[in-house]
């Protein structure tokens, strides 16, 4: 029977449980990377994917735990149900991965669009959002979503002449006033010019890579677990 044993399935499910814990941990780190990002990320919808991954991680933890119990009980019905649930989850993960691989630019454009929507609310009677946007720009050394010209071309605040004070290398009141009247060299010396989307992506790069590796390894373990569960289920039915 090879791996088709209670011990084999138990070990695989323990691996799934551990991977689920890792996914939950990494998703939580991304969500809580910096509390000052929270207001912007919620407003822009950037939180959505990490939250979905976090929920999926919690589901995986529960499935892994139940799978360990099911393996020890060696119930044919329970094992078949477990295999079906893991298969559905695995198909969902594969579908999401394929969509992200096929349409990376669309996903990037959607996130940028939502971030820009949050930036457009700057100065609209929401001091906490204004403070968050300024903090993110200054901490990540960025300005705007695509680049600093967003403040001229896309964002109503500033009337096409100003950038928010968070863009300034020396953050002071009115430091970003009439910035577009300056020469390119003066602009470079006064404000950050990189867009915040790229800066935020770079800031989260290590956590994102680690999350991708964990999800890939977990998918392999899930395939093995489904195979073992089906084999053990047939074995249990044969001896029933």
**Domain check: are 85 and 15 in the same one?**
yes
Q: Is residue 96 situated within a structural domain?
A: yes
Q: Is residue 235 situated within a structural domain?
A: yes
Q: What is the DSSP string of the chain?
A: -TT-SHHHHHHHHHHHHHHHHHHHHHHHHHHTS-GGGHHHHHHHTTTHHHHHHHHHHHHHHHHHHHHHHHHHHT-HHHHHHHHHHHHHHHHHHHHHHHHHHH-HHHHHHHHHHHHHHHHTTTTSS-HHHHHHHHHHHHHHT--SSSBTTHHHHT-STTTTT---GGGBSS--TTTTTTGGGS-HHHHHHHB--B-HHHHHHHHTHHHHHHHHHHHHHHHHHHHHHHHHHHHHHHHHHHH-
User: Span 98-114, mean pLDDT?
Assistant: 80
Q: What is the pLDDT of residues 138-195, one digit of tens each?
A: 999 999 999 999 999 999 997 889 999 999 999 988 899 999 999 999 999 999 999 9
**Domain check: are 227 and 177 in the same one?**
no
**Domain check: are 95 and 175 in the same one?**
no
Residue-range definition of the domain harbouring residue 163? 124-198
Q: Is residue 144 situated within a structural domain?
A: yes
**Domain check: are 180 and 157 in the same one?**
yes
Q: What is the pLDDT of residues 5-19, one digit of tens each?
A: 667 777 777 777 787
Q: What percent of the chain has pLDDT over 70?
A: 82
Residue 109 above 80 pLDDT?
Answer: yes
pLDDT of the residue at 163: 96
Domain count, the chain: 2
pTM of the model: 0.66
């Amino acid at each position: 029977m090879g791996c088709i044993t209670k011990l084999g399935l138990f070990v695989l499910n323990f691996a799934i449980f551990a991977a689920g814990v890792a996914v939950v941990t990494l998703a939580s780190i991304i969500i809580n990377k910096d509390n000052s990002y929270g207001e912007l990320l919620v407003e822009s919808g950037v939180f959505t994917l990490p939250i979905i991954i976090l929920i999926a991680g919690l589901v995986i933890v529960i499935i892994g735990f139940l799978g360990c119990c099911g393996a020890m009980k060696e119930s044919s019905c329970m094992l078949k149900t477990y295999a079906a649930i893991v298969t559905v989850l695995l198909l969902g993960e594969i579908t999401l991965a394929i969509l992200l691989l096929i349409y990376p630019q669309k996903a990037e454009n959607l996130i940028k669009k939502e971030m820009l929507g949050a930036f457009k609310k700057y100065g609209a009677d929401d001091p906490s959002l204004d403070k968050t946007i300024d903090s993110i720009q200054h901490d990540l050394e960025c300005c705007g979503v695509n680049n600093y010209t967003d403040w001229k071309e896309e964002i109503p605040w500033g009337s096409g002449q100003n950038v928010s004070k968070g863009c300034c290398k020396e953050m002071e009141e009115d430091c970003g006033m009439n910035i577009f009247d300056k020469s390119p060299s003066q602009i470079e010396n006064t404000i950050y010019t990189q867009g915040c989307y790229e800066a935020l992506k770079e800031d989260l790069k290590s956590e994102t890579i680690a999350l991708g590796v964990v999800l890939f390894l977990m998918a392999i373990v899930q395939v093995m677990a489904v195979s073992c569960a089906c084999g053990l289920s047939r074995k249990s039915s044969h001896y029933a």
